[in-house]
Amino acid sequence: MKKFIAEINVMPLKALLDPQGKAVNLSMHNIGFKTVDNVRIGKHITIEIEALNENIAKEKVDEACKKILSNPIMEYFEFSIKEV
Amino acid sequence: MKKFIAEINVMPLKALLDPQGKAVNLSMHNIGFKTVDNVRIGKHITIEIEALNENIAKEKVDEACKKILSNPIMEYFEFSIKEV
């Protein structure tokens, strides 16, 4: 078994309003970051996973993202995997 | 002015317990992902920023991370910037 680290981003769908991002955007303007726009905030998840090879690890992570780590009604995910 | 997109990760410090990550780790084991370990959950933030050049954009994002986007007592941050 090899060990991999997956770096997963789970972000609010682009079509949806992101209230947390909007609030941070406003706060940034208020403290002087005027050239900032379109702040969006999601989750960054790192996972260690053991698998026979990289393809199996990718399948597992994809399945985990769909089953438990993201809500497809409101979020999309993307991830990368590297061996450690 | 050029426009850049910054991709920022704000993660719980490695020395600290991450209760959210621990909970997800346990849930993943419970639904059958037995080879998963060391789940850590932080924030992924994307920001559009206008600046004269990439170095200035980097400085701004670094300053924003320190001032408003992360809590150095509990979190560290890392980011990358690309022009759009």
- CATH number of the domain enclosing B36: 3.30.1280.10
Residue with tokens 């991830």: A79
Stated pTM of the model? 0.92
pLDDT tens digits, residue range A38-84?
A: 999 999 999 999 999 999 999 999 999 999 999 999 999 999 999 99
CB contact under 8 A, A49 and B60: no
Q: Does A56 touch chain B (CB under 8 A)?
A: no
Q: In what order do the strands lie in the sheet with A36-51?
A: A75-83, A2-12, A36-51, B36-51, B2-12, B75-83
A-interface mutation test, from B28, B47, B80, most A Cβ less than 10 A away? B47
Structural domain tally of chain B?
A: 1
Structural domain harbouring B24: 2-83
ipTM of the complex: 0.91
Q: How confident is the model at residue B30 (pLDDT cuts 50, 70, 90)?
A: very high
pLDDT tens digits, residue range B40-82?
A: 999 999 999 999 999 999 999 999 999 999 999 999 999 999 9
